[in-house]
Amino acid sequence: MRDENPEFSSPEEAYAVLIPRAEADRHRPRYHFLPPAGWMNDPNGTVFHKGLYHLFYQHNPYSGVWVTAQHWGHAVSRELVHWEHWPIALAPTGEGPDHLGVWSGSVVMEGETAYAFYTGVRPEKQCLAISTDGLRTWEKYAGNPIISAPPEGSGVTEFRDPHVWRESDGWYMAIGTVGDVPRALLYRSGNLLEWEYLGPLLEGGKEETGQMWECPDFFALGGRQVLLVTAEVRTTWYVVGDWRERRFAVERWGKMDWGPSFVAARTLGDDRGRRIIFGWAPEMRPAEALEAAGWGSCMSLPRVLSLNERGEVVAEPVPELLALRGEHWEGAGEGECVEVVAELEGAGAVLVRRSPSGEEETAVRWDPAAGMVSLDLERSSLDPATTKGGYAAPVRVAPGEALRLRAFVDRSIIEVFAQRQVCLTGRMYPTREDAVGVRLEGEGKVEGWEMG
Ligand code: DQQ
């Protein structure tokens, strides 16, 4: 039985009412991934299999807000740009360990069989579902939960979001926790069913990141190993290190994104050897607005990860997105769904979603003296109910060199990529129909494309 469920008896019934409402909402992005309607949050179970990118995600099909009773929505793509919705993969059911909610997790393939690991709530326990028909339909494992409680005496009070990967000597699982200090726990299995606790994969300090790490992901990149965790307040951190003999020796920490809207990120490895990351882009408008709109949140654009010469993790939009470029302009342009490329030769800004007299505008600013790029949402909307603020990231630019920016604007979301060093993702909700201008402030050049 679902614990919070308004007037609909099935997702189909809910979609029939919510889809027209969602599609009529002027803030709904057009080229970012979204469920048909309803709420979404974390990407789950991202996996590439037989030419298809699979994206599962936390989903409430019954309204535009988060509820405990999360489902796993599911979509597939051949090229990371156009997505096809598949049936909801997992829903809270019966009296089982996940009857109050199917929370975040991951998918691995063992031959043609897919294993989805997720957290059943509440209390939290780790569960498994299996698909033998190409990830289409899922059966929950009769032996659930596969891990029923956090290790005794470990200082952990909550544990969730299992991430599973394969190594030469078996399967490993990392689980996020809340406790006296934040941790990712490490488990091992020979058969994907029975799991042995090995100890913490990594422990943090509560002064640095708070007491909670959610949504771990763990993968090899450029000869190093990377751990991702999402900590308070809504920050996805990367940790680069050396992974040997079940020990993770940390070399460097950094932020995957410096804006307020790139959370619970999860990756996949594809057939071209790329490591691709997706993040949840939370909303910055109140629950009532989401209920009325019939949808809430979207996914970031897929980004390719690499390590730069300093050992930092760098994310860039996947090149497949170039296929969305339509009409091109230079100098100044307009549109609510645009890609903008700019070079700033000194202090200045790229202004987007700007009304002709600047009553509303979203600014990407460059302050060379401080060496900071910032996403300024303070004037992004005249609606006092939306959350705004400014978010800054450090960027290195050699003396005399211009700052290079690339920004993707899609109605209420902006994703900024600066100097192939940092990303800033945010949300904005201009109220004025004419808040569509794009222009440069200061010295430099700007061009853009309407996005199809
Ligand atoms: N969201 C999920 C949890 C996860 C959190 C629930 C992170 O599994 O820890 O919707 O955004």
Question: Tens digit of pLDDT for each residue in 197-224?
Answer: 999 999 999 999 999 999 999 999 999 9
In Å, how far are 67, 114, 135 from 385, measured between CA atoms?
21, 43, 41
Atom of ligand 1 nearest to the CA of 176: 9
Shortest CA distance to 296 belongs to which of 59, 53, 9? 59
177 Cβ inside 6 Å of ligand 1: no
Residue 212 — left, alpha, or beta (φ > 0 → left; ψ -120 to 50 → alpha)?
beta
pLDDT at 5: 60
Shortest CA distance to 110 belongs to which of 128, 96, 131? 131
Strand ranges, E, within 245-334: 247-255, 263-269, 275-281, 295-296, 298-299, 303-307, 313-317, 325-330, 333-334
361 burial (CB, 10 Å; 0-12 / 13-18 / 19+) is buried
Residue 1 confidence class, pLDDT cut points 50, 70, 90: very low
pLDDT at 3: 46
215 alpha carbon to ligand 1 midpoint, in Å?
7
Q: Which helix (H) or strand (E) holds 364?
A: strand 362-367
Atom of ligand 1 nearest to the CA of 118: 8
Question: Tens digit of pLDDT for each residue in 274-289?
Answer: 999 999 999 999 999 9
324 alpha carbon to ligand 1 midpoint, in Å?
31
Atom of ligand 1 nearest to the CA of 214: 9
103 alpha carbon to ligand 1 midpoint, in Å?
6
Q: What is the distance between the alpha carbons of residues 70 and 10, in angstroms, rounded to a whole number?
A: 14
pLDDT at 415: 99
**Whether residue 270 has pLDDT greater than 70:** yes
**Whether residue 4 has pLDDT greater than 90:** no
Question: Tens digit of pLDDT for each residue in 280-333?
Answer: 999 999 999 999 999 999 999 999 999 999 999 999 999 999 999 999 999 999
The catalytic position among 42, 98, 376, 410 is: 42
Angle at 203 between CA 200 and CA 204, to 5 degrees: 165
What average pLDDT score do residues 41-70 get? 97
Test site for ligand 1: of 39, 40, 42, most ligand atoms within 8 A of the Cβ: 42
Residue located nearest, by CA, to atom 9 of ligand 1: 214
259 alpha carbon to ligand 1 midpoint, in Å?
19
Residue showing tokens 């997992």: 90
Residue 57 confidence class, pLDDT cut points 50, 70, 90: very high
pLDDT at 355: 98
CB 385 within 8 A of CB 402: no
Question: Tens digit of pLDDT for each residue in 407-449?
Answer: 999 999 999 999 999 999 999 999 999 999 999 999 999 999 9
336 Cβ inside 6 Å of ligand 1: no
Shortest CA distance to 199 belongs to which of 189, 213, 186? 186
214 Cβ inside 6 Å of ligand 1: yes
Test site for ligand 1: of 68, 106, 127, 161, most ligand atoms within 8 A of the Cβ: 161
Residue located nearest, by CA, to atom 6 of ligand 1: 103
**Whether residue 260 has pLDDT greater than 90:** yes
pTM value > 0.95: yes
Radius of gyration of the chain (CA): 22
Residue type, 338: V
DSSP string, 14-41: HHHHHHHHHHT-TTS-SSS---SSEEEE
42 is catalytic: yes
pLDDT at 32: 98
Test site for ligand 1: of 71, 119, 214, most ligand atoms within 8 A of the Cβ: 214
Residues 6+ apart with CB under 8 A from 400: none
Question: Tens digit of pLDDT for each residue in 159-187?
Answer: 999 999 999 999 999 999 999 999 999 99
Test site for ligand 1: of 3, 4, 40, 58, most ligand atoms within 8 A of the Cβ: 58
What average pLDDT score do residues 107-111 get? 97
Residue-averaged pLDDT of the chain: 96
CB 64 within 8 A of CB 50: no
Q: What is the distance between the alpha carbons of residues 332 and 242, in angstroms, rounded to a whole number?
A: 47
pLDDT at 6: 63
What average pLDDT score do residues 114-130 get? 97
CA-CA-CA-CA torsion sign (198, 270, 308, 347): negative
Taking residue 104's Cβ as centre, other Cβ atoms within 10 Å add up to: 28
Residue 2 confidence class, pLDDT cut points 50, 70, 90: very low
pLDDT at 214: 98
Residue located nearest, by CA, to atom 10 of ligand 1: 103
User: Which letter, b or e, does each residue of 398-431 get, where b requires 16 or more Cβ atoms within 10 Å of its Cβ?
Assistant: eeeebbbbbbbbbbbbbbbbbbebbbbbbbbbbe
60 Cβ inside 6 Å of ligand 1: no
161 Cβ inside 6 Å of ligand 1: yes
Shortest CA distance to 234 belongs to which of 282, 176, 277? 282
Taking residue 272's Cβ as centre, other Cβ atoms within 10 Å add up to: 8
104 alpha carbon to ligand 1 midpoint, in Å?
6
Question: Tens digit of pLDDT for each residue in 364-377?
Answer: 999 999 999 999 99
Residue type, 349: A
Q: What is the distance between the alpha carbons of residues 54 and 349, in angstroms, rounded to a whole number?
A: 37
Shortest CA distance to 307 belongs to which of 208, 397, 219, 214? 219
| 323 three-state secondary structure | helix
